[in-house]
Amino acid sequence: MKKFSILASCVLFGALFNNALACTTILVSNNASKDGSFLVARSADSKADKAQVFLIHPRIENQKGIYSTKAHNGMNDFTYPLPITSFQYTTIANWQSKLHGATGFNEMGVGISATESIYAKDELLKFDPYNEKNGISEDDILDVLLPRIKSAKEGVLLLGDIIEKQGAAEGFGVAFVDSKEIWYLESATAHQWMAVKIPKNSYFVSANQGRLKQLKFNDENTLYSKNLINFAIMHKAYNPKVDKVFDFFKVYTRNDDRDLTYNYPRVWWIQKMFNPSLNQDIKNGANFNVFLQPEQKLGIDDLKQALRSHYDGTKYDPYVNFNKDENIYRVVSVFRTYESHIMQVRPWLPKEIGRLDYVAIGMADLSVYLPYYYGNDKFIAGYQQGTNEADDESIYWIYRKLQTLVMSDYNKYAPIVKNAYAKFEKDTSLKQKAMEKEYLSFYKKDKIKARQILVDFSLQNQMEAKKLTQDLTNQIFTLLTRDTDTKYKSLNKNKKD
């Protein structure tokens, strides 16, 4: 096998895939999961040097004023009234603006994963272009919605209202989850949108392209903008006299040659993982099922595997078999992933442990998923630190440094890291079960004691994962040093230094 070259990979991926922001989303409703929980998974892909910080926003009473993206040095000048009562909520955010929250829960038990970058048709955007100046963007969604919503559906309706009145600054897909359901909203043009409730026995996959299709009128499981149909008719994208159904994908979603290599393959791969008997033409992505029932019910480990995937075991794997003639499909786990998460809602448990995020910092394939419980409010040093320059303190850069070293020779170094992290995750899972059992034994009679059990577990887990990552970094650095020494050893004619 050829050694993997970081520089060569950047050139290849830059040439093939010109999207600056890209993600992969997987939603699993309760009757499709192994334990009856709701699962919301997504990789957040942008830049490898985009450090993330873990934030807990406290509850605020009698609040006045206006939320402003510009005031936080965000991407535009979007504003929105602050709620009088702001619920406590969590985010994993951009280091610089502390916005662009990728995932989070609020004290009402509602979670949001935002966002999946998607694209509307250029011909319709001419009539309703994105409001880049002061429309709502990926920067704002969690920080505007989580402080005030009490249910997933309420979140959909509020975001939809903002899109209709102020416009979207870009195209996005957003997942909302609570104790009863998962909703997924896709924006279209600046002021149009559609959302559906994920069927209870199904899962859903999206990869940088709108995936919602048939709009069911007068259906409680479907929501959409007031002018969605009339706008399409007006601009000749939909003819009710000819078309039997209103197909949101067909009407509004951009679908061209770019999707053949960038978006379709990821959906095809994950659907094949969860439904092995499914045979689909990878080029027929426009006709892939929106919802599928998995052949085996899905759990956290299944979603980890999917988020870490890169066409493993095939010639399309760009890390194991680096060949620009064969590595034509965009993988799920890219180096520029800055974090990936699996949100889990277990309605039968107290929200402090029933709402949690499994988060892998950096490239999922070479990272470790740690459980972050809503009820934990403590982090070891480094979780609120980091910039776009490497340092020795931030948790983000501790993980990213190891991943960068491994990518210098993926085939040699990746197995060492992946095996170590797999063992760590397995051990952590056993510790979680023991901790949760102990937590529940105290929860009703002594909530302070229960909270301390959760905090102690969380801090210990964070410290152990950090220590393991630092040890692995030193191990790989030692191997790389020896390999480099061998490669560049200067010998005289007598083969002696």
Closest CA to 269 of 259, 254, 280: 280
23 catalytic residue (yes or no): yes
Tell me if 183 sits within 8 A of 38, measured CB to CB.
no
Amino acid at 487: K
Give dist(CA 448, CA 461) in Å, integer: 20
User: With 0-12 CB in 10 A as exposed, 13-18 as middle and 19+ as buried, what is 255?
Assistant: middle
Asked if omega into 115 is within 30° of 0 (cis), the reply is yes
Task: Please identify which residue in the block is written with the tokens 């002594």.
Answer: 446
Amino acid at 62: N
Give dist(CA 209, CA 128) in Å, integer: 19
Distance from the Cα of residue 68 to its chain's centroid: 24
| Structure token pair of residue 180 | 């009863």
Q: Which long-range contacts (CB under 8 A, 24 or more apart) does 61-70 make?
A: 61/85, 67/140, 67/143, 67/144, 69/99, 69/137, 69/139, 69/140
Give dist(CA 253, CA 261) in Å, integer: 17
Tell me if 331 sits within 8 A of 23, measured CB to CB.
no
Give dist(CA 319, CA 226) in Å, integer: 46
Residue 211's SS3 state is coil
Per-residue buried b or exposed e for 222-254, using 16+ beta carbons within 10 Å of the residue's own CB: bbbbeebbebbeebebbeeeeeeebebbbbbbb
Whole-angstrom CA distances from 446 to 56, 280, 305, 348, 442 are: 23, 54, 38, 19, 5
| Structure token pair of residue 86 | 């702001």
Give dist(CA 139, CA 161) in Å, integer: 17
CA R_g for the chain? 23
DSSP state of 207: S
Give dist(CA 211, CA 263) in Å, integer: 11
Among residues 9, 22, 23, 172, the one annotated as catalytic is 23
Give dist(CA 342, CA 347) in Å, integer: 16
- The phi-psi region of residue 350 (left if phi > 0; otherwise alpha if psi is between -120 and 50; otherwise beta) is beta
What are the catalytic residues? 23
